[in-house]
């Protein structure tokens, strides 16, 4: 996937420039040398979140020449927060660690709690602003400092021998600073904790504070629900202030934003843009934003806490794509779960059982490992001894989901596939509780596992299941379980079971043990690639009308850019009301209301048990009429008619060849 994106990125960047998108980096002025490499264009961190191994928080991003730089807090206890690492990348996939770019030994007045580095470049120098000592009153030594280096990887040295801001002003604790240089060259610092935010001007030397025209130095700009973590960026002449709300150790930690036509506000809260997803991660916050130079591609970089972690300092770095509406407002960010292993690691995966797992060459592979373990075959309900059993899980907790990956069964005597709604087993064990869909030499099996015992629920023959790579997709909606292979339009297996309702997602492979006295082969059992997991809630963007989505207004189905409230353009994909092998689209904003066609027009209406309504509210989800990588919806009650937009309204109509783009949608 990333290989294809890289080929397209140059064309996308050129198109962006033709459309008038000039380089506009977050925290402008930090570019340094001009970037010449092809810009990365990703839908999320496609090589997997967390980005890097280790506990880090409060990331800020700079673009220096051809490299993206992330400077985070080292997420440890206060006493251990005595240095800062950095990470750099040319493609936002492969990250190089630069250890201890700033060390407390180079800041004479600091003792601990080095927090929230803020990088910026100016006049041949690289500056790194930081908070230290977590002062609780003006009588303590500490606050916001500034370090300088002639290289982005440091080492950074304290620039002035004392804090730049060492007092509480307007009630704001001097922490969590961000530095932004406007187009006119004026530099600003935004900072503050304890529920108060200030902005100050930085003089051209970047190591002293200026004065506003009214004679003040520290101007309060606190927006509604502000806690900490200020961040400023500019896009299209509009200033965006972002901040974190809630408690940093709690699940309510989140990011909100405001817009203004001035870098000093006023800043009135518009909406929350990033929050926890109980299926993906908690405590998502303290963010920065980076714009890929020369494009209108933006990413939000932030920290979050894996679901199973309870230690407050166990925070990890992540990024996701950030999109804007036509009026400049920001769409709520979805924390996506993907991994194509292009970065050569499996950060975020946990392995169990007797398999050796390796992430290399863009795949995740498992080979046998001794000693032998005992599991039950997925192809039958009888127990057998296995020479190897490998299970790798992500720290997720999905109930209704769509989960797909490329699966290559390399050993015809074994099986390999996807696990979902799984309860992680004890360390060292491969047996789990949950569902699995596996390729075998004979075809495909869907079953459920209860520790070491596995029970098939359904099977299907599949030519060439062993040796080749197959795209396997799971749709689990309530008790409805569907498995697709290669042809994602028609399920190979469709059944129901309600034993497990939610749990982790992963990949697994097993192989029966050799006969007594013979040695187990060491060749790989299976490999996996392009893993993608998401919930069953979608937004559908018209393929021929970017930034226009299927929504409802006064019950009438529409396609337009008005996404307020955002939930009006969100649809829960559920088993078809008239045929569970098809789908129905339930409004997120109005549960129990479904998108249905009535005399060729499309409406969002409350469900009834009338057979006519059930049929009219059911759609066959098929490959896109104008682009098979996208989606179209054929009416169940009126075959040959497709959901399409015309003059901003939705209809169910026959579609001529030239009209196919209007009946094709991109899923978000």
Catalytic residue set: 58, 228
Nearest to 143 by CA among 225, 218, 69: 218
Q: Please, which residues have CB within 8 angstroms of residue 423's CB and are 6 or more apart in sequence? A: 432, 433, 434, 500, 503, 504
- Using DSSP, state whether 333 is helix, strand or coil: coil
Residues 186, 483: Cα–Cα separation, whole Å:
57
Number of H helices, E strands in the chain: 2, 48
Q: Please, which residues have CB within 8 angstroms of residue 231's CB and are 6 or more apart in sequence? A: 26, 60, 178, 190, 241, 242, 243, 287, 288, 289
Residues 437, 474: Cα–Cα separation, whole Å:
8
Kindly report the backbone phi and psi dihedral angles of residue 558, in degrees, each rounded to the nearest multiple of 5, phi listed first: -135, 165
**CA distances from residue 344 to 293, 358, 384, 630 in whole angstroms, order as listed:** 26, 9, 34, 29
Q: Centre a 10 Å sphere on the Cβ of residue 659 and count the other Cβ atoms it contains.
A: 17
Kindly report the backbone phi and psi dihedral angles of residue 37, in degrees, each rounded to the nearest multiple of 5, phi listed first: -70, 155
Scan for tokens 């309702």, then name that residue: 501
Q: Centre a 10 Å sphere on the Cβ of residue 312 and count the other Cβ atoms it contains.
A: 15
CB 176 within 8 A of CB 230: yes
Residues 541, 561: Cα–Cα separation, whole Å:
10
- Using DSSP, state whether 106 is helix, strand or coil: helix
- Using DSSP, state whether 566 is helix, strand or coil: helix
**DSSP for residue 44:** B
CB 414 within 8 A of CB 390: no
Residues 331, 563: Cα–Cα separation, whole Å:
9
Q: Please, which residues have CB within 8 angstroms of residue 564's CB and are 6 or more apart in sequence? A: 329
CB 576 within 8 A of CB 584: yes
Q: Where are any strands of DSSP class E within 223-333? A: 228-235, 238-245, 254-260, 268-274, 281-291, 298-306, 316-322
**Omega before 50 within 30 of 0, i.e. cis:** yes
CB 617 within 8 A of CB 596: yes
Element (H, E) at 11: helix 2-18
Residues 359, 339: Cα–Cα separation, whole Å:
11
DSSP-assigned letters across all residues of 444-494: EEEEEEEETEEEEEEEEE-TTTBTSEEEEEEEEETTEEEEEES-TTS-SEE
CB 40 within 8 A of CB 47: no
Residues 334, 186: Cα–Cα separation, whole Å:
34
Nearest to 178 by CA among 52, 29, 39, 77: 29
- Using DSSP, state whether 661 is helix, strand or coil: helix
- Using DSSP, state whether 662 is helix, strand or coil: helix
């Amino acid at each position: 996937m990333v290989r294809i994106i890289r080929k397209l990125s140059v064309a996308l960047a050129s198109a962006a420039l033709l459309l008038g998108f000039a380089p506009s980096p977050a925290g402008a002025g930090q570019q340094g040398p001009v970037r010449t490499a092809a810009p990365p264009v990703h839908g999320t961190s496609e090589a997997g979140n967390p980005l890097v191994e280790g506990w880090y928080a409060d990331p800020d991003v700079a673009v220096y020449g051809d490299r993206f730089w992330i400077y985070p807090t080292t997420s440890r206890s206060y006493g251990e927060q005595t240095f800062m690492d950095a990470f750099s990348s040319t493609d936002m996939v492969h990250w190089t660690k630069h250890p201890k770019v700033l060390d407390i030994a180079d800041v004479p007045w600091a003792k601990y709690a080095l927090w929230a580095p803020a990088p910026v470049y100016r006049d041949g120098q690289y500056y790194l602003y930081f908070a230290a000592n977590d002062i609780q009153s003006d009588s303590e030594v500490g606050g916001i400092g500034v370090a300088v280096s002639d290289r982005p990887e440091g080492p950074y040295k304290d620039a002035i021998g004392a804090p730049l801001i060492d007092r509480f002003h307007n009630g704001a604790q001097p922490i969590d600073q961000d530095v932004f240089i406007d187009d006119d060259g004026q530099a600003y610092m935004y900072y503050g904790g304890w529920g108060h935010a200030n902005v100050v001007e930085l003089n051209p030397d970047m190591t002293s504070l200026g004065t506003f025209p009214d004679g003040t130095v520290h101007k309060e700009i606190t927006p509604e629900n502000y806690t900490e973590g200020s961040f400023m960026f500019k896009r299209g002449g509009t200033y965006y202030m972002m901040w974190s709300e809630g408690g940093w150790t709690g699940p309510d930690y989140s990011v909100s934003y405001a817009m203004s036509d001035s870098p000093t506000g006023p800043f009135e809260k518009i909406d929350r843009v990033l929050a926890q997803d109980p299926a993906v991660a908690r405590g998502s916050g303290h963010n920065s934003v980076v714009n890929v130079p020369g494009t209108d591609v933006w990413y939000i970089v932030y920290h979050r806490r894996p679901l199973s972690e309870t230690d407050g300092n166990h925070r990890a770095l992540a990024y996701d794509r950030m999109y804007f509406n036509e009026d400049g407002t920001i769409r709520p960010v979805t924390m996506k779960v993907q991994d194509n292993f292009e970065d050569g690691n499996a950060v975020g995966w946990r392995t169990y059982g007797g398999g050796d797992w390796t992430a290399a060459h863009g795949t995740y592979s498992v080979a046998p490992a001794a000693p032998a373990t005992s599991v039950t075959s997925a192809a039958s309900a009888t127990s057998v001894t296995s020479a190897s059993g490998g299970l790798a899980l992500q720290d997720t907790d999905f109930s209704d989901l769509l989960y797909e990956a490329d699966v290559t069964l390399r050993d015809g005597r074994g099986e390999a596939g996807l696990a979902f709604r799984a309860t992680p087993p004890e360390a060292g064990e491969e047996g789990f509780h949950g569902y699995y869909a596996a390729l075998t030499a004979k075809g495909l099996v869907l079953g459920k596992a209860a520790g070491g015992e596995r029970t098939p629920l359904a099977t299907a023959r599949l030519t060439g299941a062993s040796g080749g790579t197959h795209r396997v997709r799971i749709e689990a909606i309530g008790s409805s379980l569907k498995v697709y292979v290669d042809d994602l339009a028609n399920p190979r297996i469709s059944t129901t079971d309600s034993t497990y309702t939610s749990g982790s997602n992963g990949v697994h492979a097993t192989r029966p043990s050799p006969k007594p006295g013979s040695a187990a082969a060491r060749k790989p059992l299976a490999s996996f690639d392009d893993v993608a997991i998401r919930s069953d809630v979608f937004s559908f963007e018209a393929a021929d009308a970017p930034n226009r989505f299927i929504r409802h207004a006064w019950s009438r189905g529409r396609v337009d850019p008005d996404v307020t409230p955002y939930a009006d353009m969100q649809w829960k994909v559920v088993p078809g009301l008239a045929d569970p092998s098809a789908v129905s689209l339930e409004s997120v904003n109005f549960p129990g209301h479904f998108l249905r066609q009535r005399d060729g027009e499309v409406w969002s209406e409350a469900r009834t048990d009338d057979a006519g309504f059930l049929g009219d509210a059911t759609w066959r989800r098929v490959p896109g009429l104008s682009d098979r990588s996208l989606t179209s919806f054929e009416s169940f009650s009126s075959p040959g008619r497709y959901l399409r937009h015309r003059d901003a309204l939705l209809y169910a109509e026959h579609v001529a060849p030239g009209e196919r783009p209007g009946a094709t949608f991109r899923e978000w």
